[in-house]
Chain A
Amino acid sequence: MFGMFGSTLLLAFREIRRHLLRSFLTTLGIIIGVAAVITMVTLGNGVTASVKDQISSLGSNVFIVFPVKGDRDAPRPFKQADIDAVARQIAGVVEAAGSVTTSATALHNGQDWATSVQGANNDYLRAQSIEVTAGRNFTAEEMAGGQDVCLIGTKIVAAIFVAGVSPLGAEMRVNQISCTVVGVLEERGEGGGPNSDQDNTVMMPLKTVQRRFLGSDDMQLFVVKYNASYSSTSIQDALVSLLRERRLLQGDANNDFNVIDTAQVNQALGAATGALTAMVAVIAGISLLVGGIGIMSIMLVSVTERTREIGIRLAIGALAREVRMQFLTEAVVLCCLGGLIGIGLALLLSWGLATAIEVPFLFDPAINVLSFVFSAVMGIAFGYYPASRASRLDPIDALRHE
C-alpha cells in the first residue's frame, strides 16, 4: 500500500512541476495568508517582548505612587515619613524610595543643554533597577549631606562632554549649582523611566535637589518594590489603606494619589496585542479562504484537462477512492508547498521587519507548525470536491473525452 501512496505522491509532484507557474499562482493565496499570519505573530511577539523589557526596566514588582488632585484643589505631596511608614508597616515591601524632578539647564565646556535634574538616592536606583555603568553610586555621606555630586545620562555625555574623554570627575554646572560627575547612568531609551527620558537626566542625591533646587522636603513620587512571592493586589490594598489613613481621607473621599502597577501595564499590553492578533487572524483567514477557492478552481480545471487520463486509469481497474486519493494528494501537496514557501517568506519578512523596527526576532515554532498543518487541511477541504468529481467520472465518457 505504501508503494501506491509513494507513487501517488510522486505523481502529484510531477503534475505540479509540469505546470510550475500555474501551481505557483494557484498557491499564492495560501503563501500570502501563511506569510501574513506568521509574520504578524512573530513581529507581535517581538514588539511585546521589547515593550515588556522596557516595562521591566521600570523594575518588576514595583508600584509607582504619586499625588493627584483629590477632592481638594491641589495635589498634596508626600513626605519622607509617608515613605518610611510604607517601608516599615507593609509586609512584603522590600524598598520604598522617594524622588523629585525639576527641569534644569546643564552647562559644561561653555555648552548649554536642556535637561532635567532628578533627586534620588541609591535605594531609588535599586528599586528601579537603574545601573551605573561608569563610575560609582552615591556614598552615604553624599546622600546624608546633600552634597553636590551627580550621575548623568548618556545623552548629556554625548551632548556637552568631549568625545572619548571620561566625564568622571569633571565639574558641571546645573542651573546655579556646580557639581562633580561621579558616574554615568546606563542607557535605557525613551520611556525608560517614570519621568520622561532617563538618558537625559542629571541625578543628584535626593536631599541636594530638595534643598538647593526646590527648597522643600516634599516628595513628588515614590516607588515601592515588593517581594514577588506576595500578591500584588494585597500589597496594593495595604498601600492604599495606609496612605488614606496617613492622608486623613475618610469614608467615601476619593484617593488623592495614584498607584501604578507595572504588572497591570503588562496585562493591558497583552490585551492590546491579543486584539491585534485577532484582527490579523481574520485577515489571514480571508486570504486563506480566497487561496483555497483558487486551489479548488485550478483542481477542477486539472480534472477536466485530465479526463482522458482518469478514463484510462478507471478502465485498467483504478477504484473510485484511488482516483480521489490521487487528486486529493495533489491538492494537499500543492497547499503544503504553498505553506512551506509562505513560512520561508514569513521568516525573511519578519526577520527583516524586526530588524528595521528594532524589536527582537523571536521565532515561534508553534505558529509555523500550525500554519503548515492548516495549509494541509486547506488542501483536503478544497481539494475534496474536485477529487471526488474525478472519481465519479464514467470511464466510457472519460475515455471518449477529447
Chain B
Amino acid sequence: MTGPKAADAPLIALEGITKTFGEGAAAFQALKGVDLAIARGDFVAVMGPSGSGKSTTMNILGCLDVPTSGIFRFRGVEVQALERDQRSLLRRRYLGFVFQGFNLLARTSAVENVELPLLYRGTRKAERRAAALRALDQVGLVPWADHTPAELSGGQQQRVAIARALVTQPDVLLADEPTGNLDTERSIEIMELLTRLNREGITILLVTHESEMAAYARTIIHFRDGLVERIDRNTPTPVEALA
C-alpha cells in the first residue's frame, strides 16, 4: 500500500471530484469538480456557507460517501473504486470522526464508548480498556470514565467523542463542526486539544463556519458553490499550553 513514492505523495488527493444528488430534473450538483491535496500532518479548516459543498466533501474524505466522478486517493489508494465494506475497513483503520452532535451511544459509559472502535478491530478486552483509558487521559477525562453521556456536560461529551476518535491512533481526524454545540470557553478547550493532537502528528480536517475556530488551522480552504474558492495559508492561533 505504501510504495516508495507514496511517502512523497499527499496523504489525501482529490482530482476533479463531482457529486450529484438525485436524478433528472431534480438533480442537484453539490460538487462541481474539486481538486485538493492535503499533506500528512496538516491542520486543515474547511469553511464556506451552507450549500457550498463542504459537508459533501467531508463525507467523501471520510469515506462515508463516494463521488459521482473524479478520483479520491487516500494513502495512494483510489477510494472511489472501493466496495462499501472496504471503505468501512479504511475508516476503521485510518480515520477518526468527531461530530457536531457528539454521537455517543446513550446509556453507555464514557470508557465503553471509547472502546467501541477497538471492538470492531477485534482488540482483546484488557487491551481495549487500557487503550480507552489512555485516550481518555489524553482528553483529561479519566475520572469520568464510568459516567454515561447524560451525566456529562457538552464539552465533556465532545472530549469523549475525541477520545473515541483517537483510540485507534488514526492518520486523520475528521471533525465536523465539533464546537457547534458548545459555548466559547468549551470551544477554545476543544480547539486547543485538537491543536495539541495535531502537534503529536495527527492530520486534522475541521469543518467550521466560525473563523475563530478556523484560525487554529494551518491551512484554510474556502468552498463556494461546489468548488474550492481559495486556499489560505494561516499562522495558527497560539496555544499557551504548547508555547
Contacts and interface: CB of A to CB of B under 8 A. Distances in A.
B99 A322 contact: no
The interface residues of chain A, by DSSP majority, are classed as: helix
B163 to A, nearest CB: 12
A163 interface: no
A309 B107 CA distance: 12
B122 A4 contact: yes
A138 B99 CA distance: 99
B150 interface: no
A314 to B, nearest CB: 7
A309 B164 CA distance: 14
Contact of B105 (A7, A312, A395, A399): A312
B103 interface: yes
A3 interface: yes
Contacts of B120: 4, 313, 316-319, 322
Nearest to A395: B64
B85 A316 contact: no
Nearest to B93: A317
A18 interface: yes
Contacts of A309: 105
Contacts of A395: 64
Interface in B102-140: 103-105, 107, 116-117, 119-125
A185 B182 CA distance: 94
Contacts of A249: none
B88 A3 contact: no
B84 A313 contact: no
A396 B59 CA distance: 8
A315 B85 contact: no
A319 B103 contact: no
Interface of A: 1, 3-4, 7, 18, 308-309, 311-322, 395-396, 399
B122 A315 contact: no
Interface on chain B toward A: helix, strand, loop, or mixed SS? helix
A1 B122 contact: yes
Nearest to B56: A396
Contacts of B93: 317
Contacts of B62: 315
B91 interface: yes
12 contacts: A3-B119, A3-B123, A4-B122, A7-B119, A311-B103, A316-B91, A317-B88, A320-B84, A320-B85, A322-B120, A396-B64, A396-B65
Contact of B103 (A18, A308, A318): A308
Contacts of B64: 315, 395-396
Given A3-B125, A4-B122, A395-B64, A319 B105 contact: no
Contacts of B121: 317
B122 A3 contact: yes
A134 B99 CA distance: 91
A316 B122 contact: no
Given A395-B64, A396-B59, A396-B64, A3 B124 contact: yes
B79 to A, nearest CB: 14
A391 B238 CA distance: 44
B117 A316 contact: yes
Contacts of B97: 315-316
B92 interface: yes
A319 B122 contact: no
Nearest to B117: A316
Nearest to B62: A315
Nearest to B95: A317
Contacts of B59: 396
A316 B125 contact: no
A317 B97 CA distance: 10
Contact of A4 (B91, B99, B119): B119
Interface string B207-232: 00000000000000000000000000
Contacts of A313: 116, 120
A383 to B, nearest CB: 21
Contacts of A3: 119, 122-125
Contacts of A321: 85
